[in-house]
Chain A
Amino acid sequence: GAVVSQHPSWVICKSGTSVKIECRSLDFQATTMFWYRQFPKQSLMLMATSNEGSKATYEQGVEKDKFLINHASLTLSTLTVTSAHPEDSSFYICSAFSSDTGELFFGEGSRLTVL
């Protein structure tokens, strides 16, 4: 089946630094990717919809200047957490939509810990 790869799978950073997380669709083109955030023992909360070649659409309450999303190609979307703080520590998961199959495929997630 289709595979979505996220990198890094885990990252630890100091408060105030920025962290970039990559999401790649490995064997299909994804015009639309989604970024979710998941706190321990909680559900996935949609942060933003990333469309190739255009600006991301953010969900209500998500700071677009805090969470920068770039979807520069049909196989890559990036999420940059700027000036990270401990409260940004979370599990970030991306998903990619395959227009060929009509399915959404999820990455393995990236665990961010901000010290």
Chain B
Amino acid sequence: QQQVKQSPQSLIVQKGGISIINCAYENTAFDYFPWYQQFPGKGPALLIAIRPDVSEKKEGRFTISFNKSAKQFSLHIMDSQPGDSATYFCAAQPGGYNKLIFGAGTRLAVHP
């Protein structure tokens, strides 16, 4: 059972464009939603995270939009750069627990 659904599976964006990755969840017990960036052969690194009490969080070029009623959240990468080319994972964490449930991942390629 896939608890966190992520789309698209892959994404190609031109340099300077906006990259948008979407995730949806079913379990209303989730209360923490991080996004991770992973380069080949490396462990994932926390990019940005949000809790359900806010609808948007922005850090530099990265923005999370959160829709609690729709149980959806998305990552927007503004002014995408070739260095942003990586695999991005959304995740969700149940309240009271520390473990993360990951989405399937999105392979982003930013072309110069």
Which of A's residues lie within 8 Å of B, judged by CB?
4, 6, 32, 34, 41-46, 49, 93, 95, 97, 103-109, 111
Q: Which residues of A contact B104 (CB under 8 A)?
A: 42-43
Query: Would you call B35 an interface residue if the criterion is a C-beta within 8 Å of the partner chain's C-beta atoms?
Result: no
CB within 8 Å for A104 and B46 given contacts A109-B41, A111-B41: yes
Number of A-B contacts (CB under 8 A): 47
Additional A-B contacts beyond A43-B89, A43-B102, A104-B100 (18; CB < 8 A):
A4-B43, A34-B100, A41-B105, A42-B104, A44-B89, A46-B102, A49-B98, A49-B99, A104-B34, A104-B46, A104-B98, A105-B46, A106-B36, A106-B45, A108-B42, A108-B43, A109-B42, A109-B43
14 contacts between A and B (CB under 8 A): A32-B98, A34-B98, A34-B100, A41-B107, A42-B104, A42-B105, A43-B89, A43-B103, A45-B102, A46-B102, A93-B43, A95-B100, A106-B45, A109-B41
A79 to chain B, nearest CB (A): 14
Pairwise interchain contact A107-B105, C-beta atoms closer than 8 A: no
Pairwise interchain contact B101-A103, C-beta atoms closer than 8 A: no
Main secondary structure of the interface of B (DSSP, over half): loop
- Kindly state the interface size class of chain B when it binds its partner: 10 to 19
Assembled-state Cα–Cα distance A46/B103 (Å): 12
